[in-house]
Structure 1
């Protein structure tokens, strides 16, 4: 018999699917800007002098609410899904070694999807990094003792902390740098050149820029690997301890997470949004504090992300039912929806398609993002009313099962 506040019989943990769906939508809010501005330090580009209040609020809203909040949630759930998938595979196949082999095939599929996505559709692909990190960080931990998992977590936390301190050190050097203005001019020039290519260029010129940016993103992802590893391992532990799979048994824990997450996350991200908005308004005179804030954004963003997760874990039964009905289908088709978002954004925003990135402002780009969300809400629910999986998820299962049968 379920506890009074426990969700009723969702074999797939509908609240986890719902959280994944929310993360997919939140990631879109940030990603939509890069379809216009490319891969540059000026993540939100340059606001024109005649920018409307809605344009200004769009940049501030995304910087405060979404940037580096939903990608940590997605990485956290990636680690959690690793345990859930491995357990399911163990029940079907009978041995943990077979479950690990199946997991490796899933990572190969994910890596292939990431490379195709990054080269042909959108440079900012995260699947490539997740697949590589999954091979490196999670392999061998499906049935490991919690003590071993914690040791791995502490090692990656140490590496992550060391990188943070290094970033702060190099960031403080900018206070006395005579080249800061010159560097800002170069960055402004680069971001405008990327915008011209992405919003006015043909498919070939965009493809060249995309591949160049994809190589840069993938190469520099080595610096975010420790952060991803920490999030993967926290997700793994959260399932092993039942925090994520049985949140109704851990309400005190989640209340503490919510309190700490909001207490740290809200002030930090208000400062971050203020700095990033000032940078978008006047990119030639950025505050050196923005470099330090960016170095600590993985911490400040993850704190607010943890508060978001806690709010969902503590949501009432009515909210949970709504999320299970509407957001869980989006999360069950997370891969299909993630790649569909990229395809729609590239066609709608970039020069080889409708080119709305050139003619619309940031407020209009937000409308595009929310329109895609609405479409995917409806489409995901309709698709799963007649199918058990999303289209790419079904292809993934077919690939894995074929390899398994051949083995």
Structure 2
């Protein structure tokens, strides 16, 4: 699970760096300065194979880890609800600081809200959890179908939740300015995306968490050899329907054909299938690549620290906090920078975990969760939420 979490963290960075590097990408547009075939090829590949897939994997692992925390609290005789609520409060505070100071596309605040829903559903049966996740996904897709129909009727809401090109250029200027300008721009972006975050991303994250909760309750990860047939079927379905849906989504995102809302509707249904195929492939291949597993497990064990560090490093590169290279880096170079950051995090995480039991932010979150100082050194700790 730590290795899968590290793999998800890499995918999230490859996607997020484009949004951190340019106000145009946050507005749903390509940067005008980068229009070569290579630039467009990278955009299409990242959108097709990575966008909206890896945060679902991360959300699945959040739901799975929730079941481990419930079981751990039961074994130790600790009251779980107040403990987990303190953890969610910590995630909320970290997420708000992350969104305002570094990246308005923060996911931690969404996890804090979804965590409350997991508390409510913690006694749900695995089959019911899966059915609820499917229902949520279909309802979300229908929501985007409705928006698409309204757009065809002349009521297009696309620009009510995103900037136009003039606003995107102004955003770049603000992000290259001082801390006051950067924070003000982040707050403005948050005001634009909060509706989509509450109505669409939140339920999508909850659906993925419910699948993780169901898998955790079934104990499927304890003996993957018993689920080889299931993993193979996930690969077959996911690698068939997933890329087809991702292609529709990518065409709608970059060519506007079909309308972007139709693409979103299709992607909501098919992106989870492709994410599941990624996970199934990873879990089947990993036993044959132990060195890769160990490399990915280290950043996965301190995923929260690394997630926040990724935004901090990118802010130092792209905003006025540091080099102010906003909208000056091409998509291919963005991907190379993302790979370089993650490679650094692999080595740094292994170095840190040889000396500490938890990552720095994980240590803080555990302190808030258990309301006592965690051990700085000790045995291996895995599958943190």
Fold shared per TM-score above 0.5: yes
Q: Separation in 2 of the partners of 1:145 and 1:86? A: 13
For 2:14, the equivalent position in structure 1 comes to 29
In structure 2, do the counterparts of structure 1 residues 197 and 257 end up closer, same or farther at CA, with 3 Å as the change threshold? same
Q: Separation in 2 of the partners of 1:268 and 1:36? A: 27
**Could you report, residue by residue, the CA deviation over 1:313-339 in whole angstroms, capped at 9, with x for unpaired residues?**
2115232x1233100111100000000
For 2:377, the equivalent position in structure 1 comes to none
Q: What residue ranges of structure 2 are gaps of 5+ in the alignment? A: 375-385
For 1:170, the equivalent position in structure 2 comes to 147
For 2:379, the equivalent position in structure 1 comes to none
Task: Give the C-alpha shift of residue 271 in structure 1.
Answer: 3.1
Q: Separation in 2 of the partners of 1:317 and 1:334? A: 21
**Could you report, residue by residue, the CA deviation over 1:284-304 in whole angstroms, capped at 9, with x for unpaired residues?**
xx3343321123322222111
For 1:378, the equivalent position in structure 2 comes to 347
Q: Separation in 2 of the partners of 1:260 and 1:342? A: 34
Is 1:118 equivalent to 2:102 in the alignment?
no
Q: Larger radius of gyration, structure 1 or 2?
A: 1
**Greater than 6 Å deviation, 4+ residue runs:** 178-186
Q: Separation in 2 of the partners of 1:118 and 1:76? A: 22
For 2:45, the equivalent position in structure 1 comes to 61
Is 1:217 equivalent to 2:193 in the alignment?
yes
Is 1:138 equivalent to 2:118 in the alignment?
yes
Is this contact kept in 2: 1:18–1:331, CA < 8 A? yes
**Could you report, residue by residue, the CA deviation over 1:233-274 in whole angstroms, capped at 9, with x for unpaired residues?**
110111111223321211001100111011101122123333
**Could you report, residue by residue, the CA deviation over 1:96-126 in whole angstroms, capped at 9, with x for unpaired residues?**
xx12322222111111111111122211111
What root-mean-square deviation, in Å, do the aligned CA atoms of Structure 1 and Structure 2 show? 2.7
In structure 2, do the counterparts of structure 1 residues 315 and 152 end up closer, same or farther at CA, with 3 Å as the change threshold? closer
For 1:287, the equivalent position in structure 2 comes to 257
Task: Give the C-alpha shift of residue 61 in structure 1.
Answer: 1.4
In structure 2, do the counterparts of structure 1 residues 355 and 182 end up closer, same or farther at CA, with 3 Å as the change threshold? closer
Q: Separation in 1 of the partners of 2:158 and 2:228? A: 50
Q: Separation in 2 of the partners of 1:117 and 1:316? A: 32
Is this contact kept in 1: 2:299–2:306, CA < 8 A? yes
Q: Separation in 2 of the partners of 1:303 and 1:257? A: 7
Q: Separation in 2 of the partners of 1:266 and 1:339? A: 30
Q: Which moved more, 1:310-319 or 1:254-263?
A: 310-319
